[in-house]
């Protein structure tokens, strides 16, 4: 079984309901969700003229390959109403693979670890809640150290 770390987020509709629906589908289609962070609210990153995001990190275990997980994620996003338009557009649901065990993938459609982890406070804060000592496989620094070094100053508000 591979350990899988995902970031889920939403900034349209009932955000909490959207995240909850995603967790259920992930549990049924990808693998058992072992742990989940609190919900964190942040302003949109990149395209800031849109509603705030609600984000959560999940740790799961799966028998699926990283590519198969990605295919399931795209299907789940579509089932939950995600329509891909422009980059960083508002969305009902967004699911990103942050880590797949300690593997490194650098294909066009599958970059693992997610390349923006060290640059995004809204990713690092919930990661730090769950796995502060986990070493990033390619950067070789702990999540806690990456958070301390992160230049992103976007406020990340813990909700529950």
CATH of the domain at 82: 3.30.70.560
Determine how many CB atoms are found less than 10 A away from the CB of residue 43.
Answer: 15
> Which domain covers residue 34, as residue numbers?
2-116
CB of 35 closer than 8 Å to CB of 130:
yes
Residue 82 scores a pLDDT above 90: no
Residue 48 scores a pLDDT above 80: no
Domain count, the chain: 1
Which one has a higher pLDDT value, 34 or 13? 34
Please state the length of the chain. Answer: 160
Counting Cβ atoms within 10 Å, is residue 87 exposed (0-12), middle (13-18) or buried (19+)? exposed
Residue pLDDT, tens place only, 109-147: 789 999 999 999 999 999 999 999 999 999 999 999 999
Asked if residue 101 is part of any domain, the answer here is yes
The pLDDT score that the predictor gives to residue 10 is 94
pTM exceeding the 0.85 threshold for the entire prediction: yes
- Sign of the alpha-carbon dihedral angle for 53, 33, 76, 120: positive
């Amino acid at each position: 079984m591979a350990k899988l770390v995902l970031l889920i987020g939403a900034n349209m509709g009932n955000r909490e309901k959207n995240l909850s629906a995603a967790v259920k589908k992930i549990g049924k289609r990808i693998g058992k969700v072992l742990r989940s962070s609190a919900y964190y609210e942040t302003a949109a990153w990149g395209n800031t003229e849109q509603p705030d995001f609600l984000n959560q990190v999940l740790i799961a275990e799966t028998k699926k390959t990283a590519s198969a997980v990605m295919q399931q994620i795209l299907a789940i996003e579509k089932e939950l109403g995600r329509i891909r338009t422009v980059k960083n557009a508002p969305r009902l649901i967004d699911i990103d693979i942050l880590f797949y065990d300690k593997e490194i993938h650098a294909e066009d459609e599958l970059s693992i670890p997610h390349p923006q982890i060290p640059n995004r406070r809204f990713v690092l804060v919930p990661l730090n809640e769950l796995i502060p000592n986990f070493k990033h496989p390619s950067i070789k620094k702990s999540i806690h150290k990456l958070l301390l070094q992160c230049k992103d100053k976007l406020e990340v508000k813990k909700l529950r």
